[in-house]
Structure 1
């Protein structure tokens, strides 16, 4: 039997209404590749019938389908990492389950990988999101790129392709907080981006609120760069010099003009500004310390309840106590 060439990893969280539509479009697209493939669904602790639907699909297509079941909700990127650890393909594709990224685009990613690239990112041609979300996403992307030097035009699009060596390197990392596309970019030697279509969500609602998107970008910045700390060091130095200059000016005015009471409210406003800067800096420092704390605890990143895999003759559910 020929080895698996393409693996598709799909995290699933409360997607019962859209899974059948995903199956109806995904498997024909994969069958058209003309090579051996596998689809790995990772159920991220869904509270609806997603796990049952995935199990049913596994029994229908056990030759190409594997299902990883979490016993709780550990997040999209932890689900993808768990999927990576169960892949066997030379090319690994990540795809969201909401059908906003068409499965029909997968052959284009595979063809681009076969040209010699080890990482293929994607850019959504026409985003079917609200104007506010598009503007906020664009601003966050540019800020992240300036800070981390990681060039991803559209970081929110999870339809991406990775070479086996890049996936193995990611699997060797044991980070608790990470952003997989950025991590892959740092390990790739010949990355490229292509434009793909973007559709409206087939069913359900987005699992990312505005706060979660901001949090994701903050995690990305603090996880891949210490530039924010360096910026605050520079700001602190400049404010110290400015404060010294202000003290000198006030002393001169005191000796020349005598005691004054004007400018009290200006000084109060300036003090509040400084206090705000200091509190923000302390919070930023706490973010880095918190990341260190989470890493040194060395707790399992997720817990797998079962893995559905096998052939029609040997269908099994492999119990896994935990995964580091």
Structure 2
């Protein structure tokens, strides 16, 4: 890091304004969230039914941040509709350390929704995301921040050695290979939860559905510098994985959406026009041939199925261009409006 950034990030314990004692109330702890630019690092952690891991995770985060002399940070848990006692554990953590916050959804909205809301609430110059299941190691945070200081805007973790079952690793390898080819960015692990961002990146990203899987690709297409570093991956210690076949399928469907909204949103006819034009040309050729035959004296062309087939091709071509374009633009506009309208039960 530069000397100025080091001075900015290095905060001595004597000057620490954050209370780990529930009886000490400083000015910042009175607010629901810190004001803009009030912290150096924001750590956003979406979770679902991870009560058993939260205390250990919080301790590991504090230890990692102490090791690099950063005390001016915030941790934002996003409770995505947990049905266990995760929220009670987080309340207890918050009461002991005012840097730890939580946003709790009334129901499960998905990881993308959690990250989206967490990004909007994050106030740090740098933002870290990680999973709450202890498979992501907070000890990797210093390495991620160091890589950002080399000039990158987003640093993605690469679980080079994974401790997941084969029914999760094989689909993941296929997913990463397809995403790498279609996105044009060469990463080994797009969906690693452990990532580091400069604040400009999270202000630009708009994610929903299963699009959190494509954050590196989205950032790359926006012109940000993206890289990856190997990170330590641990076996799941508590609970069970939330991964399922439906998430895998939905992820590939969202890849199509990502490709369109990033590559073709400003020129949508390049996408829809290709298919529509093919149908229009084929329909025009069919009907042109029939018209020539009619001019040359052939009768009863209206009874020939080929005539209606040609007309159908033209109609389909027009509909493909117009209806598809309108539907995608409406969807994109709707999600822009909807992105901050998730039902939140509480936040602290």
TM-score calculated relative to the size of structure 2 = 0.66
Deviates more, 1:103-112 or 1:234-243: 234-243
Maintained 8 Å contact 2:187/2:227: no
CA distance in 2, matches of 1:9, 1:291: 27
1:11 to 46, 61, 64: 46
- Superposition deviation, residue 252 in structure 1: 10
Distance 1:292 1:229, change over 3 A: same
What residue number does 1:312 align with? Answer: none
Structure 1 moving runs of 4+ over 6 Å: 173-178, 246-253, 269-283
CA deviation profile, 1:69-108 (whole Å, cap 9, x unmatched)? 2333333223223323333332110111123332222111
Distance 1:66 1:123, change over 3 A: same
What residue number does 1:96 align with? Answer: 131
Maintained 8 Å contact 2:275/2:320: no
Matched, 1:80 2:80: no
What residue number does 1:317 align with? Answer: none
- Superposition deviation, residue 161 in structure 1: 1.0
Query: Please, which runs of 5 or more residues in structure 2 have no aligned partner?
Result: 1-14, 17-37, 299-303
- Superposition deviation, residue 292 in structure 1: 4.2
Matched, 1:224 2:271: no
Deviates more, 1:275-284 or 1:22-31: 275-284
Maintained 8 Å contact 1:229/1:284: no
Distance 1:287 1:126, change over 3 A: farther
Deviates more, 1:18-27 or 1:29-38: 18-27
SS in 1 for 2:191: coil
CA deviation profile, 1:177-201 (whole Å, cap 9, x unmatched)? 7655445445564433223233444
1:130 to 138, 150, 169: 169
SS in 2 for 1:72: coil
Distance 1:306 1:188, change over 3 A: farther
Q: How does 1:190-205 map to 2 (within 5 A)?
A: 190-202=225-237, 203-205=239-241
Distance 1:21 1:287, change over 3 A: farther
Maintained 8 Å contact 1:17/1:204: no
CA distance in 1, matches of 2:49, 2:315: 43
2:81 to 13, 29, 45: 45
What residue number does 1:305 align with? Answer: 345
Query: Please, which runs of 5 or more residues in structure 1 have no aligned partner?
Result: 259-263, 309-324
Maintained 8 Å contact 2:144/2:195: yes
CA distance in 1, matches of 2:156, 2:230: 9
- Superposition deviation, residue 20 in structure 1: 4.0
Maintained 8 Å contact 2:43/2:127: yes
Distance 1:296 1:228, change over 3 A: closer
Q: How does 1:30-69 map to 2 (within 5 A)?
A: 30-36=65-71, 37-60=73-96, 62-69=97-104
Maintained 8 Å contact 2:206/2:336: no
Distance 1:74 1:215, change over 3 A: same
